[in-house]
Every structure is written in C-alpha cells, then in structure tokens.
Amino acid sequence: MSFLRKLFHLDKKKVTKKNSITGRNHTFEVPYLSRLEGTKLLPGQSLIFRGIITSPQDFIINFTDGGAVELDEDTTKLDNRLLSMRVDMASKQIYFNACIDDEWGKTGIVKHDWVNGDEFDIRIRAYDKLYEIFVDHKLIAKFAHYKPLSDVTHVYVNGGITLYMVNYEGKFYSIPYGAEIPGCFVAGKKLFVSGLIKKTAKSFDIELQARDGVALRMRILVNDKKMFCNSQIDSKWGSDQRISKQTFPFKRKRTFDLLVYCEESKFILYVNDCLLGSYEHRLNCADIDKVSIDGDIILLGVHLK
C-alpha cells in the first residue's frame, strides 16, 4: 500500500502558507518554556503546537507544575511533569506518561509517520479528568490526569523542531453559536474557527451576517465533499459558488482550523493554514456585525483579530 501511495503521489502533504495572514511568518525559540498566565488551563481549552521537524532528534512537549524543567548546576530536581509527550523519531512512536515526585506512571504508546522535514500539528484539549490528544487533526490518545488540571502552570517544548505556533484557546461552546463582532468585520480583519467534525456529520454552516442580510455563508457538505459560499441580500439568496473542486479538507472525526481573511474586494479562505479559495464581496463588509455557526460539529474555538 505504501508503494502504491508513493507511485501515485498519494502521500504528498500539503504545504501550509507561512505569511502574516496565517500568522506563521515568525518562529518561537526552542527550547520553549512558558508560564500559563491568568486562570491557567481550563476545561474545554486546547493547547496548540504547530511547527516543522528539523532533525532526526526526538522532541518533547511537557505540562509541568513549575519552571524546573531541565537539570543543571542550579537545578537538581525537576518539577512534576503532569503530562509528558515524547515523539521518538527513530522508532516512529509517541510516548505519553507523567512523572510525579520522581516516579513515572504507566506509559502509553501510539505510532506516528513523521519524517524529518514534515510539518506537524499537535493539540491537547483539556477536560476535568483527562486530555484528548490530536495529531495532525486526528484523535490519537486520551490521557487521564495524575494531578488536578489546575496544577498545570508551565508548558515546555524541546527537541529537533521549529515552532510556528504555541497557543491556548477555546472553551465548551453551544451549537448553534452566535456572537456580535465589535467594530464590524472590515478589511484586514480575520475570523478563526476551530472545530471537530462529528462522526455522523452531514453538514455545517458558518455565516458572517450583516445588517441587510448575510455577507458570507460557508456551507460545508460533508457527505458530498463539497463547500459552497453564498450571500443573502434583501431576504434572497444568490447563486452558490463552489470553493475548491480539487480538494476537500474536512473529514469526519477530524479537527479543522478555518481562517477567513477580509480584503477590500473579497474574502480569502484558508483551512489548516492551506489556501482553499476566495469569494468576492456581494455586500459591504463594513456592515458585517455578527458571526453564526450551526451544524454537525463540536466547536473548539472562535475568535477575531
């Protein structure tokens, strides 16, 4: 099967856009250590790590209860690793564990297919009693807490990678979802929507609503593997515009990141940081004042920039 995939180029991975629109035009220094400020990590939130594997060296992502993350002359004891995720490049396995008071728990193991030079997307969603761990938008593991979630204070990343994103966001959302857009959705603004497509999903809609109608409705038909954009003006829908006949990035039981970037004359659409298409304005974008989301998804995050 792997031979056939290579022969017909089925294993070719999409190249993400690294620019100021997607926010991947800068990197984070590795080793990376950050303290979770404010309310720390809450149930429903996800920590998202994106980057490129730059060497055959292993890399780790640790959630800790302090800043002592590596032994040196001044640090003789490490803080608890409440979740330790190690990607072993040689064995092509990912190891999950926790180390509390210098004692390791039971190790969980899953396989990966990354090679040097691959991009990666790792997101860890927190619940009261466990983490859900997604690799390249697919759920690969659930890891029960050894200590309360509120004990997590720091995130530590190290190894042979370049980091383009470290972010934590989200909560538990209700569907249908609606929210006002402060200052309207003018040129230069971005809408980010992250979700998990349900196992039995048929479709879902994301709308940018205006005072005089709907400036943009994105309708994703999961069964038909098609995406359409449309607008409603004076209570009448226009003609559907199909987006990207060549590719359909939405899959059941997979997460997605949708970015809508507003230009003066059109919307630019990205999914998982890959350019999907564009849609010309049919209403004045300065009149857009609300976002609405409905359908067969679990909403993980939504925000504006």
Do residue 65 and residue 119 come from a single domain?
A: yes
Q: Which residues, 6 or more positions from 251, have their beta carbon under 8 angstroms from its beta carbon?
A: 137, 197
Do residue 50 and residue 94 come from a single domain?
A: yes
What gap in Å lies between CA 134 and CA 117, rounded to an integer? 20
Residues 116, 53 contacting (CB under 8 angstroms): yes
Q: Which residues, 6 or more positions from 263, have their beta carbon under 8 angstroms from its beta carbon?
A: 187
Do residue 200 and residue 134 come from a single domain?
A: no
pLDDT score for 5: 41
Residues 33, 153 contacting (CB under 8 angstroms): no
What gap in Å lies between CA 99 and CA 81, rounded to an integer? 5
Handedness of CA 75, 77, 83, 86 (dihedral sign): positive
Half-sphere exposure of 247 (CA within 13 A, CB side): 12
Q: Which residues, 6 or more positions from 240, have their beta carbon under 8 angstroms from its beta carbon?
A: 219, 228, 229, 230
Q: Provide the CATH number for the domain around residue 215.
A: 2.60.120.200
What is the span of the domain harbouring residue 207? 177-304
pLDDT score for 6: 44
Do residue 126 and residue 197 come from a single domain?
A: no
Among 147, 169, 191, where does a domain finish?
Answer: 169
Closest by Cα among 174, 295, 299 to 223: 295
> Diameter of the chain by CA atoms?
71
What is the DSSP secondary-structure string of 190-230?
Answer: EEEEEEEE-TT--EEEEEEEETTEEEEEEEEETTTTEEEEE
pLDDT score for 305: 87
Residue 76's identity, in one-letter code, is: T
Residues 95, 88 contacting (CB under 8 angstroms): yes
Please state the domain count of the chain.
2
Do residue 58 and residue 16 come from a single domain?
A: yes
pLDDT score for 71: 86
What gap in Å lies between CA 259 and CA 269, rounded to an integer? 6
Mean pLDDT of successive 10-residue stretches along the chain, which has 305 residues: 43 56 75 87 95 96 96 89 98 98 97 96 97 98 96 97 92 96 91 97 97 95 97 96 94 97 96 95 94 98 93
Do residue 160 and residue 217 come from a single domain?
A: no
Peptide bond between residue 182 and the one before it cis (omega within 30 degrees of 0): no
Among 127, 148, 169, where does a domain finish?
Answer: 169
Do residue 163 and residue 19 come from a single domain?
A: yes
Do residue 90 and residue 153 come from a single domain?
A: yes
Do residue 211 and residue 81 come from a single domain?
A: no
Do residue 143 and residue 193 come from a single domain?
A: no
Half-sphere exposure of 276 (CA within 13 A, CB side): 28
Do residue 134 and residue 153 come from a single domain?
A: yes
DSSP bridge partners of 163: 28, 51
End-to-end CA distance of the chain: give it in Å, rounded: 43
